[in-house]
Structure 1
């Protein structure tokens, strides 16, 4: 076991197995990421947000929905580290639980849109012809509308709530991934190894699934990571406009919406969730830039 995990085994110039080669590529990617200070800062912040959100029941000193009107709009203190809001609820506890809502929405959107965009782009790029034209025209229709406006229209057509916001953001986020996957597919569909697969009698579906799609995944990962910040802002914007998570849910955008009138007198009430949104968005941008340098061969 120690030999498998040794640095020499991972960095061997001539791997003796596919497993060794695979783990060696991962380890080299980690070394490249670790050498990028901004990417490591972003990764640290992202991991910290995820851990704090998951551990919210253990770390939150108060119930995020518990009201204490006698202690409303209290300044940060030992009893309430980040102060209290207009209903006397502990802001620190609500930030921790709000991370579950906001980051959970972002993860749900990515899980939905990444496979859809990858499938649409790979099919369009590999099939070409009428299939490509139809799929890309549908993609162009979605790209023609501003993301937030289209998301608001979808939520209004359904009903305000977390589920509707996730679906609305997903429906407006997949087109860029489809475009990227199509471009990557068109660069490899006439490659020699794809032609060799055709000569062996492999069906088109197998070629796309086993050979084309995996080549598109690194670029897609970079684009998804860079888009996480805009997804966070869109989710928070829907909450701010009353179309996302509904009160008393401790969602960061909804917290700013209910506290915006206190921005001059009790600045900490709307500012702290705004800082959480800012840090999460900035962290994903740093991490995305680092992954782009590692995974995009054109950046090397």
Structure 2
């Protein structure tokens, strides 16, 4: 008898009973049940839902920016709209070039989202592969890969990213490459730790006895099991990626003018921060809000995907 029936709420809907079945009939049903349990644990956290809403709003704004921005993010009017305070015509005011700050923020969200996604797609697979290979192979391979990882971890991310951008040259593409190169070591550490706990598992021994090659073991069996922990760490690192990208833009090494990158907008407004505070305050608040959203989302995913971190009632 189900819990709903015991409490007098009647039988579960067919789709929910299928998801919450204690004896799944197929691999697809088992995977869907695990995803449903994770979503239930995630949805019980108001802060995590707030983070999801912020990230979803960022995604929506980035997709719809050309249609919802009231003005051009590039063109301005130095004669009549320069450094105007927030008003009904310009909700967040204008900058020193007469450009609408709200429009630039909306279009700048596309650059921020682009940087975050590209860095995640570049850095996470590298770290996952390095960590799983090091943990599974052991010996000199593990020592070599982990010493390279330690070498990258020995330097602060922003300092190392500055060095790579200085070598590659300023620009958004080079900034993405520099941030990705400096972001993979923590993922490698996490993947290696997860792999070391799995090396002696009976099911992996059975797969090995069945004739699976080491490459197949790592790619098909070990890496998928390490993926949830890496996804959580990537989500938590999104805030750091955004701040690093904004720092490079602030220093003039990221997106170049007239692109509406948030860090460059803060740098442009620092000379007016005492009198025309809105020029720097608006992009600074956007960076803070989006970073907070990714942190809240990452905390929620950690509690939902890691049963050791989940609170009471976090599992099924």
Relative to the length of structure 2, the TM-score reads 0.92
The runs of 5 or more residues in structure 1 that have no matched partner are none
Distance of 1:172 and 1:291 partners within structure 2:
23
1:136-195 CA-to-partner distances (Å, cap 9, x unmatched) read 111111111111111001000011000110000011110010011011001101111111
Distance of 1:97 and 1:45 partners within structure 2:
16
Which residue of 284, 291, 294 maps to 2:294? 284
Distance 1:144 1:290, change over 3 A: same
Which residue of 267, 274, 277 maps to 1:267? 277
> Which residue is 1:83 aligned to?
93
Alignment of 1:114-263 (within 5 A): 114-263=124-273
1:297: Cα distance to partner?
Answer: 2.5
Q: Report the number of matched residues.
A: 298
Please report the RMSD computed on the Cα atoms of aligned residues, expressed in angstroms: 1.3
> Which residue is 1:42 aligned to?
51
Alignment of 1:89-108 (within 5 A): 89-108=99-118
1:47-80 CA-to-partner distances (Å, cap 9, x unmatched) read 0011001100110011100111121111111211
> Which residue is 1:24 aligned to?
33
Distance of 2:165 and 2:44 partners within structure 1:
42
Relative to the length of structure 1, the TM-score reads 0.97
> Which residue is 1:58 aligned to?
67
> Which residue is 2:307 aligned to?
297
> Which residue is 2:119 aligned to?
109
Secondary structure in 1 matching 2:252: coil
The runs of 5 or more residues in structure 2 that have no matched partner are 1-11, 311-316
1:222-271 CA-to-partner distances (Å, cap 9, x unmatched) read 10111110000000000000110011100000000011111110111100
Do structure 1's residue 11 and structure 2's residue 44 form an aligned pair? no
Distance of 1:167 and 1:4 partners within structure 2:
48
Distance of 2:49 and 2:106 partners within structure 1:
22
1:13: Cα distance to partner?
Answer: 2.1
1:5: Cα distance to partner?
Answer: 7.4
- Please list every run of at least 4 consecutive aligned residues from structure 1 whose deviation after the TM superposition is greater than 6 angstroms: none
